[in-house]
Each structure stands twice: as C-alpha cells, then as structure tokens.
Amino acid sequence: MPRNIPIGNGEMLVAFDDLYRIRDLYWPHVGQPNHTCGHLQRFGVWADGAFSWVDSAGWVRELRYKRDTLVTEVRLRHERLGLELICHDAVDYYSPVFFRKVTVCDLLGRARDVRLFFHADLSVAESPVGDTVAYDPGTGGLVHYKDECYFLFNGLHPAGWGIGTWATGQKRIGDAEGTWRDAEDGLLSRNAIAQGSVDSTVGLHLNVPAGGTEHCFYWIASGKSYDAIRELDDKVRLKTPQRMLDRTEAYWRLWSQKEAVANDPLPDHLSDLHRRSALIVRTQIDHGGAIIAANDHDITHFAGDTYSYMWPRDGALVSYALTLAGHSELSRNFFNFCERVRHADGYFLHKYNPTGTLASSWHPWLTEKGRWLPIQQDETALVTWALRKHFLAFRDVEFIKTLYNPLVVETANWMLSYRDHAGLPLPSWDLWEERRGVHLFTVCATIGALQAASNFAADMGAMDRAAEFGEGAERMRGAMIRHLWDPERRLFARTAHPQEDGSYRLDFTLDASAYALFAFGALEATDARVTSHMRAIRERLWVRTEVGGIARYERDTYHQVERHALHEIPGNPWVICTLWYAQWLIARASNEAELREALEYLEWARWRASPSGVLAEQYDPHSGAQISVSPLTWSHATLMTVVTQYRLKHAALTGSPEQRQVDLTEEPARHRLR
C-alpha cells in the first residue's frame, strides 16, 4: 500500500499508508533498519461505548500536509461516532522524536467521553526476537527496547503528562493477535511488562464538551539507551510538544522556500507540487549523505527485498535536482558519501546501504562468458557528471579539491580503461538492471562524464588530462553514431551486443531512457537524429488509455498489468519516463509556444499525484492506481528537474532576469562531432 504522507528529519523516517496507519519507522538511518517491518501500527477511537479503528469502514479520510511543510494535516470524520479528528504529525526537525497532536471535535452537540488508543507493533532492529516492552514509572510511558535501540511511547492529555492507560503482551505467538484487541472495549489490562514477540497499546482519555473540541499529544522518542530517551522526554516536557511542532513547521516552511521564484511562469499548482516534491525527497535522504531510492516496505511482498538503498545513478540524478533547487548541502553530503563507498579501482558497485556498506545485489560476478564486473557503468558516470553540475552551480572550489582525484580523475581513468576496440564502454548492466550489453543510456552518460572530467581537468590546469578525457568523450560519441544509429529506421539501438568478429548485434526495442541522448550532452536536443528518436518514443510508448503516460520500453513486463493489447499499452506508465519527454520539449524549445508543449506532461504528473502530493514509480494503465513503491525519490526529483528547467528556459526565451540559477543543462563541450 502506498506511503502517502512520509515525514522525517534525515535520522528518523515515519511513513503512513493511505488509511492513515503508520507502516514504517526507520531509525537511526533513513532506510535502515525498519523497526515495524511494515506491520500495522493501529490508531483507534472509543466514544461513549462504541469503538472503531481509523482504517475501518465508516471513516472519511483526508490525508494532506500543511502547505510547504513536513507536518501533516489529516482529517478523519465518522458520522456514526459523531466525531471529527484533526491530526498533525511531524518528526521534530532536530531530534528523533515523532509527534502526533489529535484534536477531537464533537459533531452531536453533547458532551463526549472519548478514548484514543495508539498501538505499537515493533520488531526492534527488524526482528521480534528478544524484544521487551515495559511500563516506565520514571517517564510515565512505555519503553520498547533491545540492544542499543530504545523507543519511548508517551503522551500529554488534559489529566497531565504520561499515558493514561496501557497494555503490553505478545503478538503472532499461537493465538495471540496482539494488545490492539484489548482496546476494543475501551479498557486496557495495564500489564507492566512483556518479552519476546511483543506489542503494546497506550490510551489517552479526553472529555470533549458539547459542540466543542479537546486535544492531546502522543510521541515516540528513540535513542541508543534508556538515558537517551529519558533525556529526549525531558526535552519534550521542557519545550512542550506544541512548541516543538511549531518550530518544526516553521523550519520546513523556511527550507521549502529557500529559493524564491519571482514572476513564476508556471501555474501555482505546479509550483506547489515542485515544493512538495522537494520536501518528500528530503524525507528520503539520510543524514549521512545516502539518497535512498524509496522506503515502502510493501515491495518486499513482490520482490523479497526493498528499495531502501542508495543506487549511485538514482542518487546522482536526485542530487542534480537538488543542485538546481539550490540545496547545496544535500548534494555535498551525497558526493562525500560516494567518495566513501567508491571502489578503489574507480567505479561503483550495484547499490549501498545508508550506512555505506555494500547492499544486496542480483548482478553476478561470473556469467557463462566468464568473469565480469557486476556493475551498471552509468552509475559511475553519472556521479562525475552530477558533481560537475554541482560545481557549476556553487563554485565551491574548496569542496571540490578533496573529491577531484577520487570522483573525477580516477573515475575518468577507469572509464577510459573500460572500453572496447571501437571506443564504446564494455558490456555492463542497463539502468533497468535487467540485461547486459552496451547500452545507449550508458554510452550517453559516459560521454557526459568524460566531458565533465575534461572540463574539471582544464579548470585545474591539467591540460593533458583535459585533452585525454575530452578525446575519449569525442571518440565515444563518434562510435555511438557509427554503431548504434540506423539511418533507415531513423532510430538508435537500445543495446549493442558485441560479437566474436568485432561487430555488434543490435536491439532496437524502443526505450524511454534514450532521453540520455540530449540530457547528458551526447548530442544536441535539436539534432535531427534525437528529434526522430524522441518522436518515436512519444508515438510508440504512449499508453493509449484514459490514464496516458509513457512506458519504460516496449513489452515491459515489470509489474505488468496488460498482457494482450501491447500495441495500445506497451507497459505501465512511469513518472520519470513521461517527464523525460517533457525535458526534451523544454531543451529543444525555441519560443514560448514550443515551451508550453511541456506543460501537458507536467500536468499529467500532477494528475497522478496523491492528494498529499506523493508520486509513485508507476501506475495502472487502466485505473491509474499506484503500482510498485510510493513515493519514488526519482519520480519527485525528475519533476523538480523539469520544473526548474522549464523556468530557466522561459527566462532564456523571454530575457527575464528573475531566475537566480545558472543554466547547467548546456555546458559547452570543447569538442563536438557533427
């Protein structure tokens, strides 16, 4: 189920599904570990003898954020209970404390006896084995703990500090469903401790006046020891939960409006979605620098693994979006992370945990043809390319000084060494992680990286290196045109498979990732070959249903919905693929009318967003329902990139001086093959 309102601060991430249930709780890293393992954390209401969990039938739910913040604004209305709940959730911007403020409104015109129940189904450090939960008289709350992971569940209600009542017990052991069942009669057992596979429920009591409101606060504090969570609880009591919510709201509003846009050519709803996307992207970035692809534990039911990893490719493209948006500190942290995890020989492996350790992989070191590097070469190339974009934006020479050798010189030297007789990259895995070969996307990314390395070297006065890297890019560009372009089809091959005689067997499956032809500077967006190929993408990969959008490639089977009418539905529509076409329209636009053609695709992305603004990876071509992980960091970053490029192009076409950003998309190459 989609995670429709994620909130976090780079250390703690809390994600809700669209029934307003907490499903994921990550700490102390974004993406690792998930202390809920995706299990439901229930929220229930007892009023005058009647009970309902908020995921039950009868509730009308509206899940949104307060504008330009990472504070939720959730409205829950139940006509039979005669109640409306207004909930504000946030993770404190500075400390690992999750807050929920619940305001209960009477709809019946009489005084109400209301009890709120908050259920916690933790598997501390991703395992229920050896967990303990106990009532803590020192704080008046419940503590779940194991090893160096402690979680305090506490509250503030009209009767005072601390939880009003509680239950601890076992879950999923024999017939034990969990303590949440204990809440349904409005009373809890107050068992003081439980051990093993355990859960807990706490209750807060409110007396709501007729036609009026009453509120309470609930929070979860995390730390590596009891003393740490006790200190955080003291901090909450000193500052008060309301003040900590207020300061968090103010912080994120300031953060989201860091780069003000004067005379914005885009409609307000697209500008709002851009800011919302930046905030959602921020929730997926660990304080150690790792940009995580997605944090939606439900994908484990499909793949047996998560997206809670740092792929260098995704991270590089997200860092580019952050660079365009002016968030230099986040892109710096990402490149520092990359420097720490990079292989000593100059390349990146498949993906990494947020801690910097090597993550799971399905790329083998050995194939039927012998030993191969288990890499996607575009991941290495795009880090160097994105680092150049960062430098062009911020000119932070002192920062680049320490990264120049490991992320520019050594990676460029490796890319030059990892070429075949024609000057193309040796086979590696494609960006979709499905096939080995010499891929158009990889070739274009490598051209962009070598050109970036050449320009870096020239800046540093290393003219011999600048020439070597630049010549490598130029030779690869020429080889791409000679070997991958078919003038009869008027298309580039998606993949070239080297043959024993030195030739290539070409795969002309149409793939949306061919946007790389212009995106990384391999060719101009206005090049006739690029135009022909991009037009073919729009014609053959557009999903011909009411949902629309562009599929990844022809006959895409990943989460495939339609298996028959492939001429109408080549695959599920993806946000990134649809917006890549908008990027091309923006890049080639020579007047405002041509530029406005891109708005159709930005509007398509807005239609697909949930009411909270969350974008998934892909969508059902018939119903438009979210498929796979949600939110996908790459989807939001691509929207950010397209919005900023639209603004920059509009400023260039109109001569508007309002845009602060430097146009980073068309850095002049020192050599250009025509």
Q: How many CA atoms lie within 13 A of 71 on its CB side?
A: 25
Burial 47-66 (b: 16+ CB within 10 A, else e): beeebbbbbeeebebebbbe
Of all residues in the chain, the percent with pLDDT exceeding 70 is 97
Residue 543 near residue 569 (C-beta atoms within 8 A): yes
How far apart CA 137 and CA 170 sit, in angstroms, is 21
Give 292-329 as a DSSP string: -S---GGGHHHHSS-S-SB-HHHHHHHHHHHHHTT-HH
Q: How far is it, in rounded angstroms, from Cα 325 to Cα 641?
A: 8
For 546, list phi and psi in degrees, rounded to 5: -65, -25
Give dist(CA 476, CA 219) in Å, integer.
56
* Residue 362 burial (CB count, 10 A): 11
CA-based Rg of the chain, rounded to a whole angstrom? 27
Mean pLDDT of the chain: 95
Burial of 373 by CB count in 10 Å (0-12 exposed, 13-18 middle, 19+ buried)?
middle
Tokens of 84: 């409306």
| CA–CA distance, 596 with 605 (Å, rounded to integer) | 15
Contacts of residue 407, defined as CB under 8 A and 6 or more positions apart, other chains included, come to 335, 338, 339, 342, 383, 384, 387
Looking at residue 673, its pLDDT comes to 35
Taking a C-beta distance cutoff of 8 angstroms, is the pair 552, 577 a contact?
yes
Backbone φ and ψ of 102, nearest 5°: -115, 120
CB atoms within 10 A of CB 129: 10
Residue 105 DSSP SS3: strand
CB atoms within 10 A of CB 260: 9
Domains and CATH numbers, the chain: 7-229 (2.70.98.10)
CA angle 665, 666, 671 (to 5 degrees): 140
Q: Please report, as a single letter, which amino acid is at residue 595.
A: L
Query: CA–CA separation, 18 vs 513, rounded Å?
Result: 31
Q: Is the dihedral of CA 286, 290, 293, 295 positive or negative?
A: negative
Q: Rounded to an integer, what is the distance from CA 386 to the centroid of its chain?
A: 18
**Packed helices 633-654 and 599-608: angle between N→C axes, nearest 10 degrees:** 150
Pull the structure tokens for residue 453.
Answer: 């390395």
Q: Extract the residue ranges of the chain whose pLDDT is less than 70.
A: 1, 657-674
Per-residue model confidence (pLDDT) at position 371: 87
Give dist(CA 448, CA 439) in Å, integer.
14
Per-residue pLDDT at 248 = 98
Asked whether 382 and 313 are in contact (CB, 8 A), the reply is yes
> In the prediction, which pLDDT does 1 show?
63
Q: Structure pTM?
A: 0.96
∠ Cα 277 279 280 (to 5°): 65
Contact indicator for 192, 111 with CB cutoff of 8 Å: no
Instruction: Name the β-bridge partners of 496.
Output: 438, 506
